[in-house]
Chain A
Amino acid sequence: MAMAETTETAAAPKGVGEYLKSHLREYGLLIALIAIMVFFQIVTGGTLLRPVNITNLLLQNSYIIIMALGMLIVIVAGHIDLSVGSVMGFIGALAAVMIVNHELPVFATIAICLVVGGVIGAAQGYWVAYWKIPSFIVTLAGMLVFRGLSLWLLEGQSVGPFPKEFQVLANGFVPDIFPPAIGERLAPLFDARKVNVLALCTGVIAAAVIVWMGLRKRARNRAYGIVDEPRAFFIARTAIVSLALVFIMYKLSTFRGLPNVLITMGVLTIIYAFLTEKTTLGRRIYALGGNEKAAKLSGIKTERLTFLAFVNMGILAAAAGLVFAARLNTATPKAGFALELDVIAAVFIGGASMSGGVGKIVGAVVGAFLMGVLNNGMSIMGIGIDYQQMIKGLVLLAAVIFDVYNKSKQG
């Protein structure tokens, strides 16, 4: 009773400290990512942020991020998908068999693989949505089935290599559309051999868009009198994010430019962020995860939404499988092994709640990057896989404890 009064009065404008306390999670994730990057940048003697390593970092984590987008939706809807690693491996195997063994055209193979991914998602989602079988069980079964199917399909062998057109999915770069003369003129300024102007421009434009959107949201919040973040925080946060973006793009521009995968990832992230935050479909998924019964009694078709969440996950797992196979230039029976756990960890580190209804696309992407930087940094340092596993496990635990602690304090 009294608690209600406390919180009802608690929304009055307050100091910076109070604001930070109630938004610790969002800032915490960003601060953690920056801290980890700075730490590894120092201990690796600057290797972490070398253009070639940044490119590597993006390629290495692309398939995790692509799957994290789908996993976030599944988890927000109140479920889990343990099969994505196996599905990813299976699709890679399927692509290899189709392209390498049967010499089917690349484009058709990609289309067929995405459809198969969707069908796999549908096959699992059907039992979860319409038969109310716990997703943990259904997808655990799926994990075993598709692991077995990849083995069967590849007959225990690795299949490769892929033709060039397929490899560019993961290893290709967007060609610079600007005349090379501009890049050559800029090169001495950055002390580089050549500069990819497209990457540079993309970075500046993206940063500008972030600033503009931030300002717009702030203006809207003002208009409705929502407790806004203190000006200093807003400026600092926006500045850090946009400068980091420009910085990364600048680094990429002095190497080979924009990786194709970065574009895929960026576009997908924007689409899914929009879908979850700005559309009725997204709103309904949050409602479903927040309280399925109440959502259903409010006229939301909860079964269909659950089903669609799994179909979507299947398609994204297939996309990730294609990227993964293209990157390794071969399909192996072990591809994607235990990868589902990295994806799930990324989503929870990103602030999603196990019980559903809570979580953001951007959080999941940052969570995946955080794990990626940890992996990459520790590998550069030469830390053994044994310690890497332990550290990653503890980071996941710490992130979730932090969440629960925060929540209980706000009570």
Chain B
Amino acid sequence: MAALLEMRSITKTFPGVKALDQVNLTVREGEIHALVGENGAGKSTLMKVLSGVYPHGSYEGEIHYDGAVAAFRDIADSEKRGIIIIHQELALVPLLSIAENIFLGNEQARGGVIDWQGTFRRTEGLLKKVGLSEAPTTLVDKLGVGKQQLVEIAKALSKEVRLLILDEPTAALSESDSQALLDLLLELKAQGVTSIIISHKLNEVRRVADTVTVIRDGTTVSTMDARSQPITEDAIVRDMVGRDMAHRYPERERRAGEMLLEVSGWNVWHPEHSERQVIRDAAFNVRAGEVVGIAGLMGAGRTELAMSLFGRSYGRNISGEARIRGQVADLSSVPKAIAAGLAYVTEDRKSLGLILEETIERNVTLANLAGVSAGGILNENEETAVAEKYRAAMNIRTPSVFQKVMNLSGGNQQKVVLSKWLFAGPEVLILDEPTRGIDVGAKFEIYGIINELSAQGKGVLMISSEMPELLGMCDRIYVMNEGALVGELTAAEASQERIMSLIVTE
């Protein structure tokens, strides 16, 4: 097959740093090409060069597309040639309908008057192609993330796409939605659409990709062809991090101590739809030194369980009993929950965990300002000392603790959130998707921190959508489905199949 796209010796420099250094990428007509690499490796920058976000002339090197040298001035320019990029953060307008979103900026109109008949007809056709049965008039707001992703793809198809670029398309999707999306990609491939997929999920890459290109530190490390021989995940990981990772999950001495957190009869109702019960009669416990997992599909109620427990931050009509070290604990507000020894690391780091405009120092001390003040007056020297301590302990990579958190990479941001909660001195930490959107190297470090916590005798409750992670890290795993804990497995019993079968049979 001929090459549809050839990027040759692409070099892109930002003030002070070479983001891309002589990167080569060849994508053949009709293949699915996976682009993998750690966060900050340069994948997104490369795609921005390709799609014209960084216009021709702002980088060095050549792009050959469809048999000619391409010099895109902006995104509109590259879209005209059939290159469509779907970003990780979806660009849909929630309060417009599916049809309106699909033809946003490309309205089916005659003389400025929209042809609704034609719009709906074409939308129906496109929705059928991506396997959605929703009506074109449905508001995007009403769809789950998985279906929204499909709408994005339908939107791309409406523009006669030749090269579809997906940036982390399954990052926010549940297992089954991810599968559906990947199936769709394979189907589009059969219809002749070429795609580039950026992903951290190596099992997915292995499943769909014909070719895998690994980028590290702004250079191309390797290109592997899955058609000549199967690609192993270990090989990809090795190239991504530049070292052999025999153990993706660090070893930990497993021992469970005294009972720390015991929850029983926990019921929660939806904050707006008061007749909907979100958590049903949940009971679980965490012992000192244990790492306990909660597995489940997206929407199973895992985050809702954690947030309702942590100062009733979610839901209403909450009932049930929580004991900490055997004593009934008052968790009715966040300050009380913190005082009782709980900490909750949120799933959504940027909007719920951090104050992005503030410095690392100020984020670290936020949950325990009393620890760096006397009589309400801050001791700035002590505050800096605390931040420096955690920067060293957590290996937060930054020139100074006075750096704004928004300038850090995802992994380092997560370390700041963990620092904040550790400084609050909790007994039990609830970690909600602690490694989401974090590259392999930083994941390993986060696992190390979790193990360190358990060695100190803290209890860890870990919510994750990545089953291998739960299997690799946890002593026990609770399985959650539709608001109820439907099973409990020890590390020895647990496997992906057992967890899935518990979810499916309930």
Contact = CB atoms under 8 A, between A and B. Distances in A.
B40 A5 contact: yes
A8 B399 contact: yes
Given A3-B14, A6-B14, A291-B356, A297 B376 contact: no
Contacts of A45: none
Interface in B357-373: 357-358, 362, 366-367, 369-370, 373
A279 B377 contact: yes
A354 to B, nearest CB: 13
Nearest to A286: B358
A186 interface: no
Interface stretch (B42-50, B107-115, B120-128, B144-152): B42-50
Interface in A309-363: 357-358
Interface string A1-12: 111111111111
Interface in B306-355: 310-311, 313, 334-335, 337-338, 344, 346, 351-355
A280 B14 contact: no
Interface in B380-435: 380-381, 384, 388, 397-400, 402-403, 407-409, 420, 424
B68 interface: no
Interface residues of B, number: 56
B16 A298 contact: no
A293 B14 contact: no
A224 interface: yes
A9 B402 CA distance: 13
Interface in B17-49: 17, 19-20, 39-45
Contact of B40 (A2, A299, A357): A2
Contacts of B356: 290-291
A295 interface: yes
Nearest to A293: B352
A279 B335 contact: no
A172 B248 CA distance: 75
Contact of B408 (A4, A224, A226): A4
A225 interface: yes
A296 B338 CA distance: 12
Contact of A293 (B311, B344, B351, B358): B351
Contacts of A287: 355, 358, 362, 366
A9 B370 contact: no
A290 B356 CA distance: 8
B335 A9 contact: no
B162 interface: no
Contacts of B402: 224, 226
A2 B377 contact: no
Given A5-B40, A8-B397, A297 B17 contact: no
A10 B400 contact: no
Interface string A184-226: 0000000000000000000000000000000000001000111
Given A2-B45, A4-B40, A279-B376, A290 B357 contact: yes
B358 A357 contact: yes
A23 interface: no
A8 B405 CA distance: 10
B12 interface: yes
Given A1-B45, A279-B377, A10 B366 contact: no
A297 B313 contact: yes
A164 interface: no
A303 to B, nearest CB: 11
A278 B334 contact: no
A124 B409 CA distance: 41
Interface size class, chain A: 35 or more
A142 B346 CA distance: 38
Nearest to A10: B16
Nearest to B408: A4
A2 B41 CA distance: 8
B155 to A, nearest CB: 25
Determine which residue in A7, A295, A300 has the highest number of CB atoms from chain B within 10 A of its CB, and name it. A7
Contacts of A12: 399
B310 A297 contact: yes
B241 to A, nearest CB: 16
B399 A291 contact: no
A284 B366 CA distance: 8
A329 B107 CA distance: 64
Nearest to A281: B376
B15 interface: yes
Contact of B400 (A11, A279, A284): A11
Nearest to B387: A224
B352 A295 contact: no
A224 B367 CA distance: 23
B135 interface: no
A137 interface: no
A300 B355 CA distance: 13
B358 A299 contact: no
A283 B369 contact: yes
A241 interface: no
Contacts of B366: 283, 287, 295, 298, 300
Given A278-B378, A280-B369, A297-B344, A9 B17 contact: yes
A216 to B, nearest CB: 11
B17 A11 contact: no
A297 B378 CA distance: 21
A220 B344 contact: no
A1 B355 contact: no
Given A9-B399, A280-B373, A287-B366, A299 B335 contact: yes
Contacts of A4: 40, 407-409
A226 B41 CA distance: 28
Contacts of B367: 298-299
Contacts of B16: 6, 9-10
Contacts of A227: 400
A280 B40 CA distance: 35
Looking at B218, B334, B354, B409, the one whose CB has the most chain A CB atoms below 10 A away is B334
Contacts of A283: 362, 366, 369, 378
B407 A8 contact: yes
A279 B372 CA distance: 10
Contacts of A2: 12, 14, 17, 19-20, 40, 42, 44-45, 218
B313 A298 contact: no
A291 B378 contact: no
B58 to A, nearest CB: 13
A93 B100 CA distance: 55
Contacts of B378: 278-280, 283
A299 B334 contact: yes
B408 A298 contact: no
Most chain A CB within a 10 A radius of its CB, from B42, B397, B399, B409: B399
A225 B399 CA distance: 10
A294 interface: yes
Given A2-B12, A357-B358, A296 B334 contact: yes
Contacts of B358: 286-287, 290, 357
A286 B361 CA distance: 14
A1 B168 CA distance: 14
Most buried by B among A3, A12, A286, A298: A298
A228 to B, nearest CB: 11
A246 to B, nearest CB: 29
B12 to A, nearest CB: 7
Nearest to A1: B40
A358 B402 CA distance: 15
Contact of A224 (B42, B218, B376, B384): B384
19 contacts: A1-B39, A1-B43, A2-B17, A2-B20, A6-B15, A7-B403, A224-B384, A226-B402, A278-B377, A280-B376, A283-B378, A286-B358, A287-B358, A290-B355, A290-B357, A294-B353, A294-B354, A296-B313, A298-B367
Given A5-B17, A224-B402, 9 more contacts: A1-B45, A5-B19, A224-B388, A226-B402, A290-B358, A291-B351, A296-B313, A297-B353, A299-B337
Which 10 pairs from chain A and chain B are nearest by CB?
A2-B19, A290-B355, A7-B407, A11-B399, A280-B369, A298-B367, A299-B335, A291-B355, A1-B40, A299-B338
